[in-house]
Chain A
Amino acid sequence: MGLAALSSNLLLVSFIAYLVATLFFGGAVKGAKSEATYQNNRWGKIAIIITIIGFISHIGYFITRWIASGHAPVSNMFEFTTAFGMMLVGSFILLFYLYRTPSLGLFALPIAIIIIAYASMFPREITPLIPALKSYWLTVHVITAALGESILAISAVAGLIFLLKNIDLTKKSKQRFWIEAVIFTLILVVGFVLSSTTFKLIGYEAEFTYIDKNEKPAKIEYNYPPLFGMHQYKAITPEVMTPWAEMPAIINAKTLTTFVWAVTTGILLYLILRLIFRRPIATLFQPFAKKANSQLMDEIGYRAVMIGFPVFTLGALIFAMIWAHEAWSRFWGWDPKEVWALITWLFYAAFLHLRLSRGWDGEKSAWLAVIGFIIIMFNLIAVNLIIAGLHSYA
């Protein structure tokens, strides 16, 4: 078995391990009466051991892929997102050992699973490095930034648990609406994974020619039935569906098609769940959060930001500036990805000031942590796919 194949298998092993560990964490939470009693629960112990096995396998994926390609596997969307998922689990393990709370695992692992599944929707083959990425700063900057983001993400997980536990879901309220919106967004990601996987399994392909925004002819391949056509498109593949509408040059109709498929699938999935359970989906998750200690979750949420913020600053801003100076001759160029890293940083700076100086803790702090994660995800997903810039390597 070649290294590249071994690498893929290790990733699969870790994916399955996280799934299994989630079930065990669920068992640990379910079997306990309250936060205090489940801390040394047997289910919890098994769960964390499986998580660690999965994490080691995940690191194995990372190292073998590194050896196979000759560069740190953080050079495209698949690699970066997978590495982000890995660090998310790593950060969780770190915080688990600081606070020993299975509730965190029960929510952190599914999020890691969704992230890895999302990553797998991108082209997974090993790509050689383009000249701009050929630098050891690629390794240093991306890994540090991803690590920082993953620790900050744990803060959002703790925040989510806090909110699920403390928001009254029986009554209509603004809070209930927004927490449901967060859950809905997660379901949308699942929808994307489902629809993408389905068409991949069918092996759907449709090729088109079109005119790009610089008025040059180009070619594009859809992996979904083309709902929207590119600017002045012409089908190459025979007998594909005719797109509903042609898009102007600035809109990537392929991305739009993917998006619409993902959202439609997500909405259908959500509606089906609503029909089955006949109540807000957040209420399904609430019992799992009920046993967490609010004060502890608040503490974890804050602590994760305290640990993650310096790491994020170092990786996403300082190392980024040093590399940008070497590769692009300027340490800062207001490239969208850079700006969104700055926005993330400013957001967490505001978070810390609100907490330190204005005493925002508890629910307010939890909401902020969740919003912070949304900003991070926006930078990872939307900025790469929609707002193209120098960083659009996917």
Chain B
Amino acid sequence: MEISYYPGCTLKTSAKNYEKTGLALLPIFDISPVEIKDWVCCGATYSLTSDNLMYQLAPIRTLIRAKESGNPRLLTLCDMCYNTLKRAALFIENDEEKREKIKNFMDEEETDYRGDEVEVVHLLTLLNEIGSQKISEKLVKSPLDLKIATYYGCMLLRPKEIQADSAENPQLMENIFQGMGVEVVEYPFRTECCGSYQIVNRREIILDRTKKIISSAVKNNADLMVLSCPLCDYNLEATQKELIEQDSNFKPLPVLYFSQLLALILGIDPEINDWSLHNIDPTPVLKRKGLL
């Protein structure tokens, strides 16, 4: 089965590990991702400006590319892309007047688009559709004694109209990992804000957040943290070294994309990971747990 795939910018740069491992998972379940042609920026943040529709053009163009591809499902890995694309689709579907305006804006050769022709689907949703039982059947390594903390952030879960799972008690990653015998630790900050783009001008907010989130996961005995958003990954990982310098009591925690861990457990060659992209080296703990 083929599925359209939209990578977005980060997956080709700082989140290469996510793309490589994420896409490597799919053939195991007979799914072949097909990268759509001429994709553009997703918009990075969904614009709430209601009187300037310029900001919606980029995500809608991408949706049009997906429609043209002939596969009505559009796979995203990045939470940000998921959020902007899905909201743009919903926006144009529900507002006929604005849809017409945007259409008039577009170049003449653009395919007509209503908003409901393409279904934006996140990799986590796709894996949940496959089901933990089917995933577990492909289990190569039995990860004994591995405790992970899942982290969701916000983009996958909010706002309610596009959420991939409950905003208060999401289970997308739990379903997958618990199904294969990995212990998911309980800690209160799975859906806490990572600080998002405040990293640009108010770094102290991110430091504060990271300390809170990571320390709580460590306190609850997590061996590592898994997540699905490149921005969360950047915020939660890149600032840990600073925290170590600031506070000798701070205990760092390796952060991985969930797909990296899943790929290791399912026996995909670990070489596709570029471990140098990690600020906190996860290889020692992965070796200790027999995954490397």
Q: Are A and B physically bound partners? A: no
Interface residues of A (CB under 8 A from B): none
Residue positions of B touching A, CB distance < 8 A: none
